A and B are shown apart, each in its own frame.
Chain A
Amino acid sequence: MKYIAGLDIGSTYTKAVILNSAGDLVGRAMNNTGFKLSEVARKSFDEALQDASISESDIGYVISTGYGRHQVEFRDVTITALTAAARGAHWFFPNTKTVLDIGGQTMKATKLDENIKVKSFRLNDKCAAGTGAFLEKTARYMDFQTEEIGELAASSTKQVEISGVCAVFAESEVINQLSIGSEPSDIMQGAMVSLVGRSLQLMRRIKMEPEYTLVGGIMRYPTMVESLTKELGGNVNVPEGDLVQFVGAIGAATLARQRLSKLEAER
């Protein structure tokens, strides 16, 4: 069997992975999505091929997912982001029953059945409040970069209560807190705690069941994972390091592997 590829064109980052015939991760790449979706898909794919030290002709099947999945010209098929996250979470942690995925613009809670299929799901309602955009804006209003969010929140010594999760109105919340002497680190931590509250609401609505697997860019912040783990009472899985951002792409690739295997058996 040839290699297979999965691409996740998210609203903030585009991720590409390569799996070998045994289903092992052998190459990956990530880039900011920007506005040229087909270009960033191609670039990420090429970089993942390079990381795996193989060429495009070695690839037998490609599945794309994420909001820009239809812009991947070299794909074989597309799948939804929820299906991809479910498959990816199962690849990392086979006992996953509930997936919480927080990305740049969405918060998704998904319950899986015994066949790794989506049983029920909920998305953030109406707008991007309570997603990565909220944390990024909060950091930016305090003159910090996205890359500094994790460290900033982790250095908090006193929790500050942040009432809203609206990315647009994060500025006034930040100004209010700074004016009463709150530290940026405590404000950042407070912002994460408010996201945790929102996440739990969403998970309750799908009648969450352990084991829980946390995925998406926001889960690269230890404070977020620690708060969620505490609230969920354990039974929480999180892929290591930046792999937490590749779960959707890996999920797409595992399905690609299944499809290719079926196609080869039919030949």
Chain B
Amino acid sequence: MRLPVAEDDLAESELLKSGWRREFVASEPRLSEMCDLFTSLGKEVLLQSAREELTTQDDSCKTCFASVIEEPFTIWTREMENAV
């Protein structure tokens, strides 16, 4: 499955304004599975790298996320009819 990764670093406010809803952060192998499920529920899916978000959290989480090998992504979804 080719995952729909956002090419631009879109601001959260822009995404929300365009009807996107933030779901959660996931990495492979669960990421593809979750994207498949959202698609099967009739939703459009967009992924944004969450690496920066995770590594700028408080120190306790930052240290842990720095060791994560698989790229973490924030999953955004919106109903198909909202798609432009």
Contacts and interface: CB of A to CB of B under 8 A. Distances in A.
B36 A126 contact: no
Given A166-B60, A168-B60, A127 B65 contact: yes
Contacts of B65: 126-127
Nearest to A124: B24
B37 interface: yes
A125 B23 CA distance: 8
A168 B37 contact: no
A125 B50 CA distance: 11
Contacts, number: 43
Contacts of B34: 123
Contacts of B25: 125-126
Given A166-B60, A168-B64, 15 more contacts: A67-B30, A80-B33, A80-B37, A81-B33, A82-B37, A106-B30, A118-B41, A122-B23, A125-B24, A125-B25, A126-B25, A126-B50, A126-B72, A127-B65, A169-B60
Interface in A94-136: 106, 118-127
Interface residues of A, number: 21
Interface string B54-65: 100000110011
Interface of B: 23-26, 29-30, 33-34, 36-37, 40-41, 50, 54, 60-61, 64-65, 72
Interface of A: 67-68, 70, 80-83, 106, 118-127, 166, 168-169
A169 to B, nearest CB: 6
Contacts of B29: 67-68, 70
Contacts of B72: 126
Nearest to B24: A125
12 contacts: A68-B29, A80-B37, A118-B40, A121-B37, A122-B24, A123-B26, A123-B30, A126-B25, A126-B50, A126-B65, A126-B72, A127-B64
